[in-house]
Structure 1
Amino acid sequence: MDANQSRRLVILGTGGTIAGRATQAGDNVGYVAGQVSVEDLVAAVPTLAHQALTVEQVAQVDSKDMGLPVWQALVRQLWVHLNDPEVQAVVVTHGTDTLEETAFVLQQVLRPSKPVVLTCAMRPASALAPDGPQNLSDAVAVALQASGGGVVVVCAGKVHSARDVAKVHTYQLDAFDSGDAGPLGCVEEGQLRAFKPWEMVRDAVTEGSVERFLSAPTLPRVELVTSHADADGSVVRALMGQGVQVRPLRGIVVAGTGNGTVHKAMLHALEEAQTTRGVRVVLASRCARGRVVPHAGLSFDHSQGLSPVKTRLALALELLLAD
């Protein structure tokens, strides 16, 4: 056993389909997520039997309901384990629906120099042929063999970066893609085959920024709207018209058509929100591939190549740390 493999690996559970259970083994859609403990998930993977592990249940949720409290709990535990010199890497089991958002938040907040590997399943643990055990085994292989740090996602034998990964299919086992960037690598019979270097940490995270995230009662309110044919400004104006009973609107991300274009009726409302209310507006594209290419005609800031959902999180985190 080499020096890396003798160090401890941490596995954190948050629920999701990988921990789901249905009343009938052949039912891959009518299940309840977050029913099986992470300890039982680990016990179902024979390749982990002799690995030095710390296993903890952080949450037990359907990831469609993911939000700040679970993210804070994850960051809190990750911060402890990543600063432990005896810990080599951390694996997180997670639901597929918001996996890309959690991966992005963890990367932005922690920028870990050690591997943090999120994994999942498209079939519940009770399925006739569950995909969770293989995905968990692959995630552990990546955690032990990765030469770089950062948050990655492992599913169906592929390794994706937190920045680029997106869920692109509702049902297939290979439900994730990295768009134009492509995957970082793959897992072949328990061996990591890297296609390109991991996302390296450029700026060290500060304890103060982590504490700011952990102490936040809410994230700054940033809403996501979509431009489409026959759109108007009513949704944007409704958001601006909400009273003091809700959190103040701090930002709007627009999933625009094509290269960040926005219907002229919606555009007028967005310009009003930015100029008269001080609401930050950022353009993303609703296209599955490509990015908003910067040009002189853009009315607002662009998303730096991020998807609409990740742009919303990036803006919320930026506003949080700027407060």
Structure 2
Amino acid sequence: MADAKTPLRRVILGTGGTIAGRAARAGDNVGYVAGQVSAQDLIAAVPPLAGLPLEVEQVAQIDSKDMGLAVWQRLAERVAHHLAREDVAGVVITHGTDTLEETAFFLRAVLSPTKPVVLTCAMRPSTALVPDGPQNLLDAVTVAGDPQAHGVLAVCAGSVHAAEHVTKVHTYRVDAFDSGDAGPLGLVEEGRVRWLHLPDRPGTETPFDAQRLQRLQQATALPRVHWLTSHADADGVQVLALLAYGDAHPEAMPQGLVVAGTGNGTLHQALEAALQEAVSRGVVVRRSSRCARGRVIPGVAGALADTQGLSPAKARIALALELMGM
């Protein structure tokens, strides 16, 4: 049992990304190699973190564009392990920006933690003239220790976002993340969190299930769920090609398709016809929108099922987990 007089620990799990990147010259913010600096060295580069009760563990060292099931399995296992400890207040994950929203949503769906799990990142490598990683890391540690923080969160450029809403919306600016209509949960200001509205406690609705995590760890691959987009002059060739390839290679037959429609999830008639063919062959299809704001409003007769407000990226993960029985 943790000593009430001893400050609770925060555990830092490193996975690589731009925050751990290096470039050959200072000032190069795009020509860098991600995942070069250890999590321990990232911590050492932030003086205000010195003396805090922190633990550091390197889970992976990759560019997050290459994120996949193997790292997610390892990350979920380590997060669950540390959150179960009475002496741990929360977990911070250093991550690349490209797939941060997907990892955040995945961990929320699989673990439903009540303690805070805070993902943070950087848009500039550690060798930048003015790197943004150190401040983001300090802010993330602050949020992970805040008594009102719960569930899976993302912290970047002083804003706190919920896993279910956060999306990367800019290719270059340091404030690259947004939460759409929901807005950020809070702001980190001079070492303190100002909550605009408090995070939900997901564990009270879908409590952590060790058997669910065990099923995940036993999986060798996620179900095949592809993501397509509707647009002007679209057709159904991609869908039909996936089905034809699956006929020749049954192990590659898609189990699910997520389509990002135009506007309120509308689909080009040729693409929709191909998707209906996929449905008739047992493929589960979900309809989202390519719009940056809003959600698909249901109510159109005969329309394919919508993603209940999830972005295409998160809907793909949700459908894969659903197909796994999770």
In which range does the TM-score fall when normalised by the shorter chain?
over 0.9
Q: Tell me the alpha carbon deviations over residues 213-252 of structure 1, each in whole angstroms, 9 at most, x when there is no partner.
A: 1111000000000000000110100011112265331000
CA offsets per residue over residues 111-163 of structure 1, 9 Å max, x none? 00100000000000011110000000000111111414210000000000000
Counterpart of 2:14, as a letter, is: G
Whole-Å separation in 1 of the counterparts to 2:167 and 2:321: 19
Q: Which whole-Å CA distance do the structure 2 matches of 1:188 and 1:232 have between them?
A: 49
**Which residue does the alignment assign to 2:208?**
205
Tell me: CA distance 1:191–1:108, structure 2 relative to 1, closer, same or farther (3 Å): same
**C-alpha displacement at 1:192, in angstroms?**
0.3
Q: Distance in 1 between matches of 2:209 and 2:102?
A: 21
Aligned positions of 1:133-152 closer than 5 A = 133-152=134-153
- Do structure 1's residue 308 and structure 2's residue 312 form an aligned pair? yes
Contact 1:120–1:136 (8 Å) recurs in 2: yes
CA distance in 2, matches of 1:213, 1:168: 30
CA shift for structure 1 position 50 = 1.0
**Match for 1:212: what amino acid?**
R
Q: Secondary structure at the match of 2:117?
A: strand
Whether the aligned pair in 1 keeps the contact of 2:279 and 2:285 (CA below 8 Å) is yes
> What stretches of structure 1 move > 2 A for 4+ residues in a row?
2-5, 245-248
CA distance in 1, matches of 2:89, 2:218: 27
Task: Indicate which of 233, 244, 250 corresponds to 2:249.
Answer: 244
Q: How much has 1:106 moved relative to structure 2?
A: 0.4
Instruction: Please give the secondary structure, in 2, of the residue aligned with 1:302.
Output: coil
What CA distance in whole angstroms lies between the structure 2 residues aligned with 1:110 and 1:103?
Answer: 11
- Structure 2 residue 294 is matched with structure 1 residue 290: yes
Query: How big is the shift at 1:301?
Result: 1.0
Aligned alpha-carbon RMSD (Å):
1.3
Q: Secondary structure at the match of 2:15?
A: strand
CA distance, structure 2, for counterparts of residue 4 and residue 196 of structure 1 = 30
**1:56-205 correspondence to structure 2 within 5 Å:** 56-201=57-202, 202-205=205-208
User: How high is the sequence identity, in percent, across the aligned residues?
Assistant: 60
What is the aligned partner in structure 1 of residue 43 from structure 2? 42
Please state whether the residue corresponding to 2:114 is helix, strand or coil.
Answer: coil
Amino acid at match of 1:266: L
Provide Cα deviations, 1:60-87, integer angstroms capped at 9, x if missing partner.
0000000000001100101110111111
Q: Does 1:257 align with 2:258?
A: no
Structure 2: gaps spanning 5 or more residues: none
Are the structure 2 counterparts of residues 238 and 5 from structure 1 closer, same or farther at C-alpha, using a change threshold of 3 Å? farther
2:218 to 215, 219, 240: 215
* Counterparts of 1:4 and 1:124, CA distance in 2: 38
Deviation for aligned residue 1:179:
0.2
In 1, Cα distance between equivalents of 2:147 and 2:6: 12
The counterpart of 1:274, out of the listed 256, 274, 279, is: 279
The 3-state SS of whatever aligns with 1:223 is strand
- Alignment counterpart, residue 224 of structure 1, candidates 227, 249, 252: 227
Deviations 1:3-35 (A, max 9, x none): 597011100000000000001011010000000
Counterpart-to-counterpart distance in 1, 2:6 and 2:178 = 29
Using the alignment, how far apart are the partners of 1:196 and 1:47 within structure 2? 27
Supply the distance in 2 between the matched residues of 1:188 and 1:194 (Cα, whole angstroms). Answer: 10
Of residues 162-171 and 204-213 in structure 1, the stretch that sits farther from structure 2 once superposed is: 204-213
Distance in structure 2 (CA, Å) of the matches to 1:139 and 1:155: 8
Give the letter aligned to residue 187 of structure 1. V
Instruction: Give secondary structure in 1 for the equivalent of 2:145.
Output: helix
Q: Secondary structure at the match of 1:273?
A: helix
Kindly tell me: are residues 298 and 123 of structure 1, through their superposed partners in 2, closer, same or farther at Cα, counting changes over 3 Å? farther
Name the residue aligned to 2:20: 19
Distance 1:228 1:168 in 2: 20
Counterpart for residue 299 of structure 1: 303
**How far off its partner does 1:321 sit?**
1.9
1:199 CA displacement:
2.2
